[in-house]
């Protein structure tokens, strides 16, 4: 018997339905011919709690820390024991095992840890499925690989899980126990990804709270030129009081010049006209989709992920959604017309976009060199009746399909014009943009661009017809939203101060992964560290206090982003995981030494932030009241502070 172990039931069904022969159901499995397909339910196993290594660790004590397992153990998740027993039984009759986890690091871990935990010693093949439609699954079944090829990916995922456990268990216990000494009645959860994300929000909120607006002043003129009118803006020079962005800090110079300008004549002394060609936005990765869906439809990152999972698993309308890639395999290009025709035919908007596409074009999106374990999100080609979908599902499906259809549209061609005028020996600038070829732009709702300027000729005369001075004020940065926080997590190097580290992180950019970012945000909200105010995400008082009490490096992105770099080297170059974990343990000793009740007490006293929702405070209180009786739930929560389940992967 060949046994295929899928990551989840929906994938198992898609695989079983693509196999030849009559399909029959058994307990926890599907059988077609000599092949049996079974499944996991996400992670069937989890890292064992501390008391599995020593019963004394059931009690939370500072003198136990750091807890460092000698030999790592797993324990079945409570609701997974039945399915684990099914897989154990099926393995006894198998001659070959096929690993059919999702095509990513966590998917590799999820199935392989079960295979190894149950002691299978025979051959293992790897099945990679990005698309749940029958023809795509059949193609994948025809090209199974040796699972040994993915051993480095497994080692990286295993190292990530162990490192998250070490980091989350030890720091959460240290700060919770120190918090108890400081008078805080609640668990203080610390995780190597969630805490730097919280730090981003806390620092942004502090910038907003501490911001002191400063007035500045702008002077504009309306100019009559040979072929029309335009508005230009004064560029004050060095003799005037300016800030570091060249903004005028005193109204008097602008007001004095404004009195002299009405009717004044000048000349256009510099004209720069450039034609720009801009290719269509690439197909979506999950994070890029979450950013756009939050901006356009107000969907949280988790809502977008959940919608994508339904479109993938339930409706089979899109390819694997938890992708960090924005490119498509070159082999998909030949069938793109038929795929998109089927995907678009039942919706007026999509059909209109499809009919405007030119399938003789080839964009840079089709690039095998940029495709890794998975490719960009794309429609599968299954006919989509959007009237049968929820509104959010239809909206997201249109966005995903639009970005693929747009690859067959001409580039957007614009002419950008910058003009400099001299009037009364002062410099004025104007700029405008003219769309020459709209290309893909009509498919997208985009912000308004600068209006076009009238035709201009260098050296032509101009005359001031109107003038005005505007009083303005500097503005604080905007609070984070789901969209901007996801974008910050994608481009974390921008938030790193050390120039050398920033250069390194540009090659390994990203805090969290495509599949974890939404869950990280929701975890911080659930634990009362963040709160939503409309679209804004703000830190609570306890969230701010936690960041203030931790060593600065724990609340900043450098460490976890560099972790991803090291894990990438294990996955891609086959580096030995041992030095990575050894360095982490050494780091832990120093971090644990920084746990200080006095510092935490001051942080709690001086914390500024929003109030936690009452339901969150109640959960925290209930958690604390049960601490002395049992630490199993606490250990689970503290593990989730570092090592999340498959739903979030952190």
Which residues belong to the active site?
A: 320
Phi, psi of 34 (to 5 degrees): -95, 15
Run of H or E including 309: helix 301-309
Name which of 371, 390, 404 is nearest 309 in CA terms. Answer: 390
Contacts of 355 (CB under 8 A, 6+ apart): none
Name which of 379, 462, 400, 384 is nearest 428 in CA terms. Answer: 462
- Locate all alpha helices (DSSP H) within 211-266, ordered by sequence: 251-260
**Strand residue runs (E) in 522-629:** 530-533, 536-539
Are 109 and 290 spatial neighbours (Cβ–Cβ below 8 Å)? no
Q: How many angstroms separate the CA atoms of 495 and 236, rounded?
A: 32
Q: How many angstroms separate the CA atoms of 561 and 541, rounded?
A: 26
Name which of 511, 515, 516, 545 is nearest 620 in CA terms. Answer: 545
Phi, psi of 512 (to 5 degrees): 80, -170
Angle at CA of residue 127, ends 121 and 128, nearest 5°: 140
Q: How many angstroms separate the CA atoms of 551 and 588, rounded?
A: 11
518-540 burial code (b ≥16 CB/10 A, e <16): bbbbbbbbebbbbbeeeebbbbb
Are 35 and 124 spatial neighbours (Cβ–Cβ below 8 Å)? no
Preceding peptide of 66 cis, ω within 30°: yes
Look at strands 74-76 and 96-100 and give their pairing.
unpaired
Look at strands 29-32 and 35-39 and give their pairing.
antiparallel
Q: How many angstroms separate the CA atoms of 451 and 456, rounded?
A: 14
SS3 annotation, 170-195:
HHHHHHHHHHHHCCCCCCCCCCCCHH
Q: Burial, 23: exposed, middle or buried (Cβ in 10 Å; 0-12, 13-18, 19+)? A: middle
DSSP-derived letter for residue 248 is B
Are 338 and 381 spatial neighbours (Cβ–Cβ below 8 Å)? yes
Complete edge-to-edge strand list for the sheet that includes strand 96-100: 23-26, 29-32, 35-39, 2-6, 96-100, 124-126, 145-146
Are 36 and 90 spatial neighbours (Cβ–Cβ below 8 Å)? yes
Q: How many angstroms separate the CA atoms of 330 and 101, rounded?
A: 24
Phi, psi of 50 (to 5 degrees): -55, -35
Contacts of 341 (CB under 8 A, 6+ apart): 354
Q: How many angstroms separate the CA atoms of 216 and 469, rounded?
A: 10
CB atoms within 10 A of CB 95: 10
Are 401 and 315 spatial neighbours (Cβ–Cβ below 8 Å)? no
């Amino acid at each position: 018997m060949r046994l295929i172990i899928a990551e989840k039931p929906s994938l198992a069904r898609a695989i079983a339905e693509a196999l030849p022969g009559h399909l029959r159901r058994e307990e926890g499995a599907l059988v077609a011919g000599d092949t049996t397909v079974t499944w996991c339910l996400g992670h069937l196993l989890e890292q064992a709690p501390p008391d599995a290594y020593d019963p004394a660790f059931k009690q939370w004590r500072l003198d136990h820390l750091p807890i460092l397992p000698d030999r790592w153990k797993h324990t079945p998740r409570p609701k997974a024991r039945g399915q684990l027993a099914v897989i154990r039984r099926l393995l006894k009759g198998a001659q070959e095992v096929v690993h059919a986890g999702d095509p990513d690091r966590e998917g590799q871990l999820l199935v392989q840890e079960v295979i190894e935990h149950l002691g299978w010693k025979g051959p293992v093949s790897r099945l990679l499925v990005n698309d749940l439609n029958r023809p795509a699954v059949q193609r994948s079944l025809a090209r199974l690989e040796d699972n040994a090829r993915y051993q480095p990916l497994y080692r990286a995922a295993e190292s990530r899980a162990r490192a998250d456990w070490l980091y989350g268990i030890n720091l959460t216990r240290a700060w919770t126990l120190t918090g108890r000494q400081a008078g805080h009645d609640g668990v203080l959860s610390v995780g190597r990804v969630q805490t730097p994300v919280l730090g981003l929000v806390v620092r942004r909120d502090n910038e907003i709270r501490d911001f002191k607006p400063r007035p500045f002043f702008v002077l504009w003129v309306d100019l009559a030129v040979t072929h029309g009118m335009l508005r230009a803006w004064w560029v004050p020079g060095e003799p005037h009081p300016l800030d570091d962005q060249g903004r005028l800090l005193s109204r008097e110079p602008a007001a004095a010049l404004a009195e002299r300008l009405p009717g004044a004549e000048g000349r256009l002394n510099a004209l720069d006209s450039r034609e720009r060609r801009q290719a269509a936005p690439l197909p979506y990765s999950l994070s890029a989709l979450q950013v756009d869906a939050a901006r356009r439809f107000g969907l949280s990152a988790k809502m977008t992920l959940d919608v994508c999972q339904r479109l993938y698993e339930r409706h089979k309308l899109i390819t694997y959604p938890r992708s960090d890639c924005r490119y498509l395999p070159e082999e998909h290009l030949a069938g793109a017309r038929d795929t998109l025709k089927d995907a678009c035919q039942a919706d007026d908007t999509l059909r209109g976009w499809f009919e405007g596409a030119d399938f003789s074009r080839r964009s840079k999106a089709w690039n095998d060199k940029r495709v890794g374990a998975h490719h960009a999100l794309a429609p599968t080609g299954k006919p989509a009746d959007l009237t049968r979908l929820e509104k959010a599902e239809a909206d997201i499906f249109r966005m995903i399909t639009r970005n693929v259809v747009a690859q067959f549209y001409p580039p957007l061609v614009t002419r950008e014009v910058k003009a400099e005028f001299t009037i009364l020996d002062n410099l004025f600038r104007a700029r405008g943009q003219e769309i020459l070829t709209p290309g893909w732009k009509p498919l997208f709702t985009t912000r308004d661009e600068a209006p076009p300027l009238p035709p201009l000729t260098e050296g032509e005369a101009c005359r001031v017809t109107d003038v005005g001075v505007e009083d303005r004020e500097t503005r604080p940065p905007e609070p984070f939203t789901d969209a901007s926080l996801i974008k910050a997590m994608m481009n974390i190097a921008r938030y790193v101060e050390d120039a050398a580290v920033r250069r390194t992180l540009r090659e390994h950019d990203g805090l969290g992964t495509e599949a974890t970012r939404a869950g990280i945000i929701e975890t911080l909200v659930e634990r009362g560290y963040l709160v939503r105010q409309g679209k804004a995400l703000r830190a609570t008082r306890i969230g701010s206090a936690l960041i203030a009490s931790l060593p600065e490096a724990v609340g900043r992105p450098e460490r976890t982003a560099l972790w991803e770099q090291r894990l990438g080297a294990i996955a891609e170059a086959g580096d030995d995981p041992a030095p990575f974990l050894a360095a982490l343990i050494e780091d832990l000793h120093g971090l644990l030494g920084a746990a200080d009740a006095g510092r935490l007490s001051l942080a709690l006293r001086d914390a500024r932030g929003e109030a936690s929702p009452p339901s969150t405070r109640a959960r925290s209180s209930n958690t604390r009241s049960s601490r002395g009786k049992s630490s199993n739930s606490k250990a689970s929560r503290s593990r989730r502070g570092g090592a999340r389940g498959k739903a979030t992967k952190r």
